[in-house]
Amino acid sequence: MTTRSDVRPASATEVLPSSLPPRRHVLDLDDYSIEEIELVMQTTDAMGEVLRRSIRKVPTLQGKTVVTLFYEPSTRTRVSFEQAGKVLSADVINLSIASSSVEKGESLLNTARTLEATQADVIIIRHGASGAPNFLARCIEGSVINAGDGAHAHPTQALLDLYTLRQRLGSIEGAKVAIVGDVLHSRVARSNLWGLAAAGAQVVLCGPPTLLPMDWLRDQHLQGRLASISVTTSINDALDGADAVMTLRLQKERQQDGLIPSLREYARSYQINADRLKLAKTGAPVMHPGPMNEGVEISSEVAHGAASVIEAQVANGVAVRMAVLYLLATGRGEE
Ligand code: NCD
């Protein structure tokens, strides 16, 4: 028989305030308050406890169907959502759709209708087109989690990055976080900006001028947060005294001709390597969302060295995604 205490990981009950509005979708972090981020962090702590048990299974989402709908390749994100759903006892269905067979818009609507008929409770979508998850959220009854859309957003990656930073730094407030690399194409950087700004970090975006999204940074939408964001093309300025370094993948598949002179030149100017890392505070954690181009945006020495928290990011990904799934279920009053 299932008791209440089995269903909820012990400490999650203590962190659920009634004041937060119920959440139906997780599309980006721009609509997350610091209180809601804190709630996700504390719930992740509780989920981490579940993952450390000898039997890693709780019946929280029993009878719920979670569908992963990936129009773009992914290893760690899809697998960690699948694992998160399974630990919480949801039925997890993986739909992998080759991007070549997708006619954007119409075929997504058709897929949404099919999914609607299967009564999926949560759909986790990754799509090459920015805004696809928002479109899906308008079409279906269930919850939608954005697992990365175009260059727009990747909220669960940003939440796991925040969680990892909190583990390493204690508090993020006032911390200088350098985000270095292909910011232009990075949904990870965009979602992290919202989360880090809400958490009170001082964010420095750094990359070659052609890979910095200056138009987006001028967007009215972001203006309220700009006090905590600065932009530089100088890697030395970005790393100087940084409390943490977030390295971004050079998204070769999204490069248009001429944005960077060559991979070698990019590595020479912007690679996070042991020498450059000396500019950051001693022990500053180095992050990377994966997959890495070792030898391009990050040296192998740093990627696998003492400062690297890249494996912790992957491990935290499961607990964070469990927290997000759990909070959606409880937020909708469907525990
Ligand atoms: C990121 C993504 O897909 O946006 N990776 C991930 O989710 N693990 C980052 C990237 O592809 O560069």
211 in the same domain as 176:
yes
192 in the same domain as 65:
no
126 in the same domain as 24:
yes
207 in the same domain as 72:
no
150 in the same domain as 35:
yes
Domain annotation covers residue 186? yes
Give the CATH number of the domain where residue 222 resides: 3.40.50.1370
- Report which ligand 1 atom has the smallest distance to the Cα of 126: 3
- Pocket-testing residue among 149, 157, 297, ligand 1, by greatest number of atoms within 8 A of Cβ: 157
The pLDDT value given to residue 4: 41
39 in the same domain as 142:
yes
Range of the structural domain that residue 24 is part of = 20-154+316-333
The pLDDT value given to residue 267: 96
Residue 76 Cβ < 6 Å to ligand 1: yes
Domain annotation covers residue 227? yes
Measured by CA distance, the residue closest to atom 12 of ligand 1 is: 249
Give residue-wise pLDDT tens across range 301-334. Answer: 999 999 999 999 999 999 999 999 999 987 644 4
Number of domains in the chain: 2
pLDDT 10s per residue in the chain (335 long)? Answer: 444 444 455 444 444 555 788 899 999 999 999 999 999 999 999 999 999 999 999 999 999 999 999 988 888 899 999 999 999 999 999 987 755 455 555 678 888 878 888 789 999 999 999 999 999 999 888 999 999 999 999 999 999 999 999 999 999 999 999 999 999 999 999 999 999 999 999 999 999 999 998 887 777 566 666 668 899 999 999 999 999 999 999 998 777 778 888 899 999 999 999 999 999 999 999 999 999 999 999 999 999 999 999 999 999 999 999 999 999 987 644 44
The pLDDT value given to residue 147: 98
Measured by CA distance, the residue closest to atom 7 of ligand 1 is: 77
Domain annotation covers residue 144? yes
Q: How far apart are CA 117 and CA 188, in angstroms?
A: 32
The pLDDT value given to residue 334: 45
